[in-house]
């Protein structure tokens, strides 16, 4: 993923809400997932090659700290297409033992854009998972 655009875009808007409208965002998330438990956002790594110094988490890399990481990777390979680049997440958070992977959209129409996957099997898997 390219550097985050200042002033627009899904990553920018998510970070803006996390920084300036946290209570509002957290309550909306809690309403959607039907919980009042605490939300714990996962921090991203540092990437000294990027201007922002902010790295990204891809696929299921966030689980590297868990002893069952290898089995999670195997399950991920069955769940999500493995062709092309691994998915970069806009955010990852936990509520209790449940992990949520966020693909933020700055505008509603972005949620309905065409997937650019070329492989027929990958497209079928994406549509089934989403």
The arithmetic mean of pLDDT across residues 60-64, rounded, is: 89
Q: Give the contacts of 86 (CB within 8 A, at least 6 positions apart).
A: 58, 59
What is the dihedral sign for C-alpha 32, 115, 64, 13?
Answer: negative
User: Helix (H, G, I), strand (E, B), or coil: what is residue 100?
Assistant: strand
Write out the two tokens for 69.
């990481």
Query: What pTM was computed for the model?
Result: 0.79
- Per-residue pLDDT of 37-46, as tens digits, reads 999 999 888 8
- Could you tell me which of 30, 1, 125, 80 has the C-alpha nearest to residue 9? 1
Which element (helix H / strand E) includes 16? Answer: helix 10-20
pLDDT-derived band at 2 (thresholds 50, 70, 90) equals low
The arithmetic mean of pLDDT across residues 68-85, rounded, is: 87
């Amino acid at each position: 993923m390219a550097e985050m655009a200042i002033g627009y875009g899904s990553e920018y808007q998510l970070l803006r809400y996390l920084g300036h409208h946290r209570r509002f965002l957290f309550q909306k998330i809690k309403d959607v997932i039907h919980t009042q438990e605490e939300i714990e956002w996962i921090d991203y790594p540092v990437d000294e090659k990027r201007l922002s110094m902010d790295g990204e988490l891809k696929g299921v890399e966030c689980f590297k700290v868990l002893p069952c990481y290898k089995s999670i990777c195997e399950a991920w390979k069955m769940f999500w297409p493995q062709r092309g680049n691994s998915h970069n997440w806009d955010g990852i958070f936990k509520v209790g033992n449940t992990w949520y992977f966020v693909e933020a959209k700055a505008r509603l129409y972005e949620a309905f854009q065409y997937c650019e996957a070329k492989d027929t099997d990958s497209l079928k898997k994406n549509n089934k998972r989403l």
